[in-house]
Amino acid sequence: MLRAARWLTPIFPASKALPMFTPLTPGELAELVRSTALAGEALALHSGNSLSALGHPPRGDRLHHSLSLAGFDAIIAYEPDELVLTVGPGIPLTEVKALLAERRQRLAFEPPDWGPLYGQPAGIGTLGGVIGAALAGSRRVTAGGARDHMLGFHAVNGRGEIFKAGGRVVKNVTGYDLPKLVTGAFGTLAALTEVTVKVVPAPETVDTLMLPRLTPARATEVMAQALGSPHDVGSAAYLPASIARDLIPGAGDSATLIRLEGFAPSVEARAAALMAEFGGTVERLGADVSRKLWQALGDATPLVGLHEDCLWRISVPPTAGAAILEAVQAVRPLATGWLDWGGGLIWLALPPHPGERDGGAAFLRGLVTDGHATLMRAPERVRASVPVFQPMPPALAALAQRLKASFDPHAVFNPSRLGA
Amino acid sequence: MVQMPMPNEGILARRADIVRALYDLLPEACVIADAVARRAYECDAVSAYRQLPLAVVLPRNTAEVAAVLKYCHGAGVPVVPRGAGTSLSGGALPVADGIVLGLGKLNKILDIDFPNRAVVTQPGVTNLGISNAVAHAGFYYAPDPSSQIACTIGGNVGENSGGVHCLKYGLTTNNILGLELVLMDGTILRLGGKQLDAGGYDWLGLLTGSEGLLGVITEVTVRILRKPATARALLLGFPSSQVAGDCVGQIIAAGIIPGGMEMMDRPAIHATEAFVNVGYPLDVEALLIVELDGPPVEVDHLIARVSAIADQCSAMTKRISTSEAERLAFWAGRKAAFPAAGRISPDYLCMDGTIPRRALSHVLTRMGELSQHYGLGLANVFHAGDGNLHPLILFDANKPGEFDKAEAFGADILRLCVEVGGVLTGEHGVGVEKRDLMPVMFSEIDLDQQRRVKHAFDPKLLLNPGKVFPLLSRCAEGGKMHVAGGALAHPDLPRF
Ligand SMILES: Cc1cc2nc3c(=O)[nH]c(=O)nc-3n(C[C@H](O)[C@H](O)[C@H](O)COP(=O)(O)OP(=O)(O)OC[C@H]3O[C@@H](n4cnc5c(N)ncnc54)[C@H](O)[C@@H]3O)c2cc1C
């Protein structure tokens, strides 16, 4: 059993018997990693802890200590003109957003707050969590994801070494792009102590065009037309009637949504041009409704209350999404779901199904030929028994193992979070 | 000449057997063994570095690539992947005891998918070839290196290439959806696809910019975009680079991300104007081209806003394009910067550091001092929006010692970039050219972490050896590399 070093604050959370380590300097963190490795034990990394139920639960064969990186929460440098922000990854996302808003900037990839989805309070998520889990909202389809805005980091690897990669400027190809690699790695490669991200100007205004009553297939065509138009469409989603009614005042039927952002005269002109091209009924939802609506879609708010359901997030080529959504709803009429990313992202909530123990994994993965399905939320016993992430072919899985070992040879960090 | 790893005498002695084995794997026309024909592959765009490879192979499909790699893996023969050979960092420089694997015959576009806004292509298709293939429908592939008529998409992935529009539209890495990769042992992997998030580790992110050290790319799925409806540009002259740099900062602070924002200093302005005669003002110290693209209403709106910012920044000259011809004329000089440098000087070295823009005037001043110190001319073109500097060092290779001086000058510039908080390379890659400067930016621990990543893909270290990571034997030479305190962090680690 690892002994807490003198500089660590052993906090004993009510539910767990083991102390939580909260190092405050890279040196302390490195020492902790080294002693954990020596003891043959493991560390479960988190900062805000809003996403602890995402991924495989720790396996019982090794002792896992809880490692909080929340202590690395400083604002190190914010240079709006250079479009870069350097912070400790433990900084709450809400704080980052407020800081950027003061200079009319934002994170382009619209990181959501999934705390409530996991039964946690809103606002506890950190930038480190956003990067570790590669969270992105509806704008992912045009603005890129967390990986596209991750420029550099300092970290401690599984050997207990302090290292860095990338840089603090927006354009850099010096050495391997490890900043992208650690994004979405769910803390399995390194414990981040400092990150530099690219920030962008926030748009002056936003509006959303709504086309009511389309089928998912027709909606997909409309979304492809919009995203392939010269009108700078930022995101496109399709909501079945039940969800549209909850999120859009006055909506009674399915809603196909096209978001436009930017300078006011430009948004105005593009909205007019798109409405003319679509023809038929098109409503404009206005800035206030738009802001709340897209935030709710990113945060997956419609799924928050569905406690019994297993939640899935499926990424496919945009034109493949509608058919999968329809195929699911044909045999599981109680399933809730919608399309984002122009059809390329399917959010799904599957209610318990007689005789099904895998949360719908076999059923859904059978429908997804090209893409990947992630089990976002499920009871621990389900997550322990099925692959949470889309299984990899054996050669790729072997490479992933070698890559993990190149950072973390003793498998100290989140050893089973990504699966075997 | 830059030092390369010592060739393996055993392999050199087995050359005839190796060539025979390659003929067994590939049709005769796909193996180049004779010395004259091999000479075409002895260098890339850094022509000061040359090396004749053992042989050149030009496989026609993924299976042939895999067969060649598998054989070389077994036989311990190094392999240098090559696209069009336009690398500006010596990334495709052959090694004496290895073969060059050219992807030129994998030159077909496999699938154009407008509804999913994706193109699946073989790696040997040129960058511009992709844009041309989708132009009829109003689409294009956004990253646009100046070499785009020649360079291949595989090479772009290798170098994570950029272009003048990448502040707004991203580098190669932001525009790639999927890859097919062959590992050194011949294993074929398919990564990503037409969907956005590929799940698992970000292989695409790691491989893009990996300079041919991790695997050979045999297929690329790129994201295509609808062409902006219109583009207009402003041509702005300033009394100093400092003022021009401030103007760039104010444009960005106003929430405007132009499609392109390029700066030139006085020597670059004069050289390009003499070359293309497009009416650049000759009495200014810095020239800025700001291009706004997008819907016409937006472009007109932003032209007015940028114009007002330029006035506040006391621009000495201001022209706003009113026609496509005029916009292209503004660009003609900037686009001709390299040939223009070639006209005023027998040779030039193109550097590629990135700096935080706030350090611009300090860096320009220091570069001026270095120019005096080395007695070599300098012209600067600059992707101003993202801080990517391209200083062109002018020299004459026929004068003894001048190339060495130019290289030393270049290294000083890159050290300066790192010193002010920037990086060694913004888009051209490390290759052999900047390899020995890596310790300026990274500690031995940082580099060892990257070396171990290489090891996970290519444990025998056969792919593109001698690139990106400093060779240890260079430690003591010319101060180009230093190992702190003479101590190696991980003596157990393989060095390459
Ligand atoms: C005049 C000129 C202007 C340029 N302008 C720009 C510019 O504006 N922006 C910019 O970013 N660059 C620019 N470059 C640099 C160069 O064109 C780019 O780096 C380009 O991407 C190289 O492509 P290539 O096909 O020539 O690759 P090569 O030079 O053949 O190879 C480049 C690297 O990629 C590797 N590689 C090539 N193909 C593969 C493959 N299929 N699989 C694995 N590895 C591979 C090689 O081993 C090498 O390390 C310019 C070069 C020139 C000569």
- pLDDT of B122-180, one tens digit each? 999 999 999 999 999 999 999 999 999 999 999 999 999 999 999 999 999 999 999 99
pLDDT of A199 over the 90 cut: yes
Residue B16, pLDDT above cutoff 90 = yes
| pLDDT in the model for residue A335 | 97
Sign of the torsion angle spanned by Cα atoms B271, B274, B278, B284: positive
Judging contacts by C-beta atoms under 8 Å, the chain B residues touching residue A263 are 298, 301-302
Residues 432-471 of B with CB under 8 A from A: 434, 438, 441-443, 445-447, 449-450, 452-457, 468
Q: Which residues of A touch B415 (CB under 8 A)?
A: none
Residue A127's pLDDT band (cuts 50, 70, 90): very high
Q: What is the mean pLDDT of residues B304-325?
A: 97
CATH number at residue A11: 3.30.465.10
Q: Is the pLDDT of residue A251 over 70?
A: yes
ipTM score of the complex? 0.95
The CATH number assigned to the domain holding A343 equals: 3.30.70
Boundary of a domain, candidates A280, A298, A316: A298
Mean pLDDT computed over A103-132: 96
- Report how many domains make up chain A: 3
Mutate to test the interface with B, among A105, A172, A222 (most CBs of B within 10 A): A172
Q: Does B425 touch chain A (CB under 8 A)?
A: yes
Residue A393 lies in a domain: no
Mutation test residue for ligand 1: of B43, B47, B151, the one with most atoms within 8 Å of CB: B151
Q: How many angstroms separate the alpha carbon of residue B84 from the centre of ligand 1? A: 7
The CATH code of the domain that includes A222 is 3.30.70.2190
CB contact under 8 A, A181 and B205: yes
Whether A68 and A185 share a structural domain: yes
Interface membership of B135 toward A (CB under 8 Å): no
- What average pLDDT score do residues B429-453 get? 97
> Is B421 in Cβ contact with A168 (below 8 Å)?
yes
Does the pLDDT of residue B342 top 60, yes or no?
yes
Length of chain A measured in residues: 420
Closest residue CA from atom 7 of ligand 1: B145
Is the pLDDT assigned to residue A10 strictly greater than 80? no
pLDDT of amino acid B35: 94
Are residues A345 and A359 both part of a single domain? yes
B429 and chain A in contact, CB less than 8 A: yes
**Is A272 a domain residue?**
yes
Q: Across the interface, do A81 and B197 touch by the CB < 8 Å criterion?
A: no
Q: Does B111 touch chain A (CB under 8 A)?
A: no
- pLDDT higher than 80, residue B491: no
- In a mutagenesis test of the A interface, which of B309, B449, B454, B468 is the best target, namely the one with the most A β-carbons within 10 Å? B449
Please name the helix (run of DSSP H) or strand (run of DSSP E) that holds residue A401, with its range, or none: helix A394-407
* Binding pocket residue ranges, ligand 1, CB within 6 Å: B 44-45, 80-88, 91-92, 103, 123, 145-147, 151-152, 154-156, 158-159, 161-163, 211-212, 216-217, 338, 427-428, 464
Asked which of A202, A228, A245 is the last residue of a domain, the reply is: A202
- Inside any domain, residue A253: yes
Give the tens place of pLDDT for each residue, A37-72.
Answer: 999 999 999 988 789 899 988 888 888 899 999 999
Nearest-CA residue of chain B relative to A102? B253
Q: Which of residues 365-424 of B touch A (CB under 8 A)?
A: 383, 386-388, 421-424
Atom in ligand 1 nearest the alpha carbon of residue B45: 53
Determine the residue of chain B that is closest to A344 in CA distance: B195
Q: Residue B476 pLDDT more than 80? A: no
> Is residue A420 very low, low, confident or very high in pLDDT (cuts 50, 70, 90)?
low
Question: What percentage of chain A reaches a pLDDT higher than 90?
Answer: 89
> Do residues A181 and A37 both lie within one domain?
yes
Give the pLDDT band of residue B353 (cuts 50, 70, 90).
very high
Q: In A140-199, at which residue ranges do the beta strands (DSSP E only) sit?
A: 150-157, 162-166, 190-198
Q: Say if residue A148 is in the same domain as residue A177.
A: yes
In a domain, A7, yes or no: yes
What one-character DSSP code corresponds to residue A11?
B
B390 to chain A, closest Cα gap in Å: 13
- Same domain for A310 and A250, yes or no, is no
DSSP H or E segment with residue A317: none
pLDDT of residue A59: 82
Q: Tell which atom from ligand 1 comes closest to the C-alpha of B218.
A: 41
In a domain, A415, yes or no: no
If one residue of B42, B87, B191 were mutated to test the ligand 1 pocket, choosing by the most ligand atoms within 8 A of its CB, it would be B87
B357 contacts in chain A (CB < 8 Å):
81-82
Alpha-carbon gap: B33 to the closest alpha carbon of chain A (Å): 33
Residue A18 pLDDT: 60
Asked whether residue A407 is domain-assigned, the answer is no
Which tens digit of pLDDT belongs to each residue from B195-220?
Answer: 998 779 999 999 999 999 999 999 99
The answer on A187 and A120 residing in a single domain is: yes
| The pLDDT of residue B238 is above 70 | yes
On whether residue A133 sits in a domain, the answer given is yes
Please write the tens of the pLDDT for every residue from B64-103: 999 999 999 999 999 999 999 999 999 999 999 999 999 9
Partner A contacted by B273 (CB < 8 A): no
Q: Which of A183, A228, A403 sits opposite B226 (nearest CB)?
A: A228
Q: How far is the CA of B152 from the centre of ligand 1 (A)?
A: 7
Average pLDDT of span A122-141: 96
pLDDT at A389: 95
Q: Answer yes or no: is pLDDT of A1 > 70.
A: no
Domain residues for the domain of A35 are 1-202
A111 and A17, same domain (yes or no): yes
Q: Which domains does chain B have, with CATH numbers?
A: 9-102 (3.30.43.10), 109-226 (3.30.465.10), 230-337 (3.30.70.3450), 345-429 (3.30.70.2740)
C-alpha dihedral (B92, B94, B99, B102), degrees to nearest 10: 30
Cβ-based contacts under 8 A for chains A and B: 256
List alpha helices for A259-320, DSSP H. Answer: 264-278, 286-298
> What pLDDT score was predicted for residue B488?
38
Q: Which of B62, B126, B147 to mutate to test the pocket of ligand 1 (most atoms within 8 A of CB)?
A: B147
Same domain, A90 and A171: yes
CA of B338, closest atom in ligand 1: 1
Query: Average pLDDT of chain A?
Result: 94
pLDDT at B7 exceeding the cut of 80: yes
pLDDT at B2: 82
Q: Of the candidates B301, B424, B453, which has its C-beta nearest A266's C-beta?
A: B301
In chain B, the percentage of residues whose pLDDT exceeds 70 is: 95
What is the nearest CA distance from B144 to chain A, expressed in angstroms? 15
Among B69, B134, B453, the residue to mutate for chain A (most A Cβ within 10 A): B453
Nearest residue in chain A measured CA to CA from B195 = A317
- A131 shares a domain with A58: yes
Q: Over 70: is that where the pLDDT of A405 sits?
A: yes
Say whether both A239 and A190 belong to one domain.
no
CA B39–ligand 1 middle distance (angstroms): 19
Q: What mean pLDDT do residues A346-369 have?
A: 96
Q: Which residue's CA lies nearest to atom 13 of ligand 1?
A: B145
Same domain, A281 and A317: no
Residues A284, A347: one domain?
no
Distance A383 CA to ligand 1 centre (A): 44
High-pLDDT (> 70) share of chain A, %: 95
The mean pLDDT value of chain B amounts to 93
pTM higher than 0.90, yes or no? yes
Task: Kindly tell me if the per-residue pLDDT of A3 is higher than 50.
Answer: no
Q: Which of A363, A297, A378, A362 is nearest to A328 (CA)?
A: A363
> Can you tell me the mean pLDDT for B383-411?
95
Q: A202, A224, A240: which is the final residue of a domain?
A: A202
Dig out the tokens for A284 from the structure.
């404009």
pLDDT value at A101 more than 60: yes
Q: Is residue A416 part of a domain?
A: no
